Chain A
C-alpha cells in the first residue's frame, strides 16, 4: 500500500463545477504539499500546509492531521485548470518527499 493515496485517479468536470481531490497518508508528516503538473512535466507548488486551511484564488487546501487526510478544492473550475494534481508529504526528519500517483483533472468547456 502506498504511503500517499489520492482519489480519484481521473476526474472530468464541466467548466464552472466545484472540484474536490482527496489525499490520505499513512505516515507522520511535518508538511503536506499540493502540486500541479502540466503536460510536459513542469511542476508548480500550489500549497504547503501543516494544519488547517489555505486559500489562494479559486484554490483551497485543507488538512486534518488527526485523520491524516487533505483535500484540494477548486471553485468555478476552468479548462486551464486541467492538469495532474499531486499530493506529497514530508515526514518528520526525513528530507525526501513521498508522492501520491496524482489525479488527472480535465475540465471541459
Chain B
C-alpha cells in the first residue's frame, strides 16, 4: 500500500497523559499536513510541513501540541497533558507540489486518521 498511513488508528487515554501519533506520507511527497476533525464537523487545519520545515501553524495548535518532521519523511504529532476537548479524529495528508504532474499539483491525499478519545 503506497498511500498515507497513520498509527495508531485508535487511541484511548486518560486526561493529563501525553500521546503521540505518527503519519507516513506518500513516498517523496514534500508536503505533509495535520488536521483535526470533531464529530459532525469538517476537518480543521492544524499545521503543515514542506520537507522538514514547519511552515504554518493554526492558532488551534496550542502550546500543548507539537509536530515534527525531522527527516522530511514521516511526521509525529504530540499532545501533552491531554484534555477531554482534544478528543477528535486527527488526520494527516500529503501532497506533491512539483509542477507538471497532469495539473494535480498540490492535491492532498489523506490518511485513515487516528481517533483519539480522552477520558
Residues of A whose CB lies within 8 Å of any CB of B are 4, 31, 33, 35, 40-45, 48, 86, 88, 90, 94-102
Contact = CB atoms under 8 A, between A and B. Distances in A.
Given A43-B43, A99-B44, 8 more contacts: A40-B112, A43-B91, A43-B113, A45-B110, A95-B55, A95-B56, A96-B33, A101-B42
B115 interface: yes
A99 B43 CA distance: 6
Contact of A96 (B56, B104, B111, B113): B56
The secondary-structure label for the interface of chain A is: strand
8 contacts: A42-B111, A42-B112, A43-B93, A45-B108, A86-B43, A88-B42, A95-B55, A96-B48
Interface residues on B, range: 20 to 34
